[in-house]
Amino acid sequence: MKHEIKRISKILDELVTFCFLHGTNEMNVNIENHNEYFKISFVIDNIDCTDRRVQELKKLLNSPRQEEIEEYYWELAGECDSDTEFTLVGAMVDRAEVEFKGTSLYLTLYRYR
């Protein structure tokens, strides 16, 4: 897919913005570039779990990959510092594992090539 690397960067941009907007002080990011997929892992501390958007994270990220939405809107990801585009990120990834442990959030996203 065209601009594949840039699209991964946009997903990261959106996630980093989201986490800082919702109380995070520290996050650890790991990105793996495999032949068949990209794997993005986040460990995020002190996230505001009472926030409605944080609660909906699992559902939004686990929506089916929608290439028709991604193709049109991918450049919007990470472009706004007050609103977040998790519907868009959900449309850009194939699988998401979201786990809350206390105030920490463990997030793993898979995007197949």
Partner 1 sequence: MLKTKLNTKQLTEKQKISVLMILPLSMLVLAFVFDTPVDIIKGLYKIIIHPDILLTDYIKVGGIGAAFFNSAILTLLNIYILRKNNISVNGISMAAIFIIAGFAFFGKNLFNVWAIYLGGFIYTKYQGRKFKNVAIVSMFGTALAPLVNEIAYGTNLPFPFNIILGVSVGILVGFVLPPLSSHFLRTHDGYSLYNIGFTAGFIGAIIMSIMKSYGFIGESTLILSSEYDLILKIFLTSFFIILIVIGYFLNNRSFKGYSDILWFTGRLITDFTHLVGIGITLINMGIMGLIGMIYVIISNGVVNGPVIGGLLTIVGFSAFGKHPRNCIPILVGVYLAGMTGIWETNSTALIIAGLFGTTLAPIAGEYGWFSGILAGFFHLSLVMNVGYLHGGLNLYNNGFSGGIVASMLVPIIDAFRKGD
Beta carbon of residue 78, minimum distance to partner 1 (angstroms, whole number): 10
Beta carbon of residue 104, minimum distance to partner 1 (angstroms, whole number): 22
Strand order in 95-101's β-sheet?
Answer: 27-33, 37-44, 104-112, 95-101
Cβ closest to partner 1, residue 47 vs residue 84: 84
CB 22 within 8 A of CB 51: yes
Cβ closest to partner 1, residue 1 vs residue 33: 1
Cβ closest to partner 1, residue 38 vs residue 86: 86
